[in-house]
């Protein structure tokens, strides 16, 4: 069997015999060899990243805590500007806006670094007999874990540190939290 010099070494004799022996048109080729030095490609995700996890609902107090009782009714009215701000546990330095974007993508929430409200709102609640009613206006936000990590040029996660977002306000959800106590 004759082989052209350009193809010599690219097929093993058994591979060529098997392919030609069954009359197939499929031809096995060795991978091309690189000419010169191979330059490694950089990781497209190289740099600092944030991952959020373990979201829990949280009422972030803003304004006065009202307490009334025992029994009866407790009510309150809000008519001023309020604001809540993103907060993280000590020991971790993060970009608040990057963490908010990560949380919005991960959990499908509408979060904010700072949320404010300027309007009036009234709430009233009947207190159970013998109990004290408590009202606290605030933002219905979240608490969650956050991981800050670096992706190196080989796409390996390094320099990972975790912490807790202790307060991430909702961009839109404000209201009263009500609870009862014995004293």
Mean pLDDT of 140-157: 92
**According to the model, what pLDDT value does residue 12 have?**
45
**Could you tell me the pLDDT band of residue 49, with boundaries at 50, 70 and 90?**
very high
The Cα–Cα gap between 151 and 158 comes to 6
**According to the model, what pLDDT value does residue 26 have?**
37
The Cα–Cα gap between 18 and 119 comes to 82
User: pLDDT over 90 for what percent of the chain?
Assistant: 31
Architecture (CATH level 2) of domain 47-181: Beta Complex (2.170)
Mean pLDDT of 26-49: 64
**According to the model, what pLDDT value does residue 79 have?**
72
pTM: 0.56
Q: Which two tokens stand for residue 163?
A: 């912490």
Q: Decide which of 27 and 53 is more confident.
A: 53
Long-range CB contacts for residues 115-120, cutoff 8 Å, separation at least 24: 115/83, 115/84, 115/139, 115/141, 115/169, 115/170, 115/171, 115/172, 115/174, 116/81, 116/82, 116/83, 116/84, 117/81, 117/82, 117/83, 117/174, 118/80, 118/81, 118/82, 119/79, 120/77, 120/78, 120/79
């Amino acid at each position: 069997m004759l082989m052209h010099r350009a193809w010599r070494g690219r097929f093993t004799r058994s591979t060529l015999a098997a392919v030609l022996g069954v009359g197939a048109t499929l031809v096995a080729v060795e991978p091309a060899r690189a000419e010169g030095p191979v330059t490694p490609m950089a990781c497209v995700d190289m740099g600092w990243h944030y991952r959020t996890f373990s979201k829990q609902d949280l009422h972030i107090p803003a304004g006065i805590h009202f307490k009334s009782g025992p029994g009866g009714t407790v009510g309150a009215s809000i008519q001023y500007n309020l604001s809540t701000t993103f907060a993280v546990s000590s020991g971790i330095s993060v970009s608040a806006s990057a963490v908010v974007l990560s949380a919005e993508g991960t959990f499908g929430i509408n979060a904010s670094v700072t949320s404010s409200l300027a309007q009036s709102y009234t709430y009233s609640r009947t207190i159970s007999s013998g109990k004290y009613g408590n009202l606290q206006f605030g933002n219905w936000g979240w608490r969650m874990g956050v991981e800050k990590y670096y992706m190196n040029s080989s796409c390996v996660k390094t320099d990972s540190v975790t912490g807790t977002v202790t307060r991430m306000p909702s961009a839109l959800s404000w209201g009263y939290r009500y609870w009862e106590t014995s004293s």
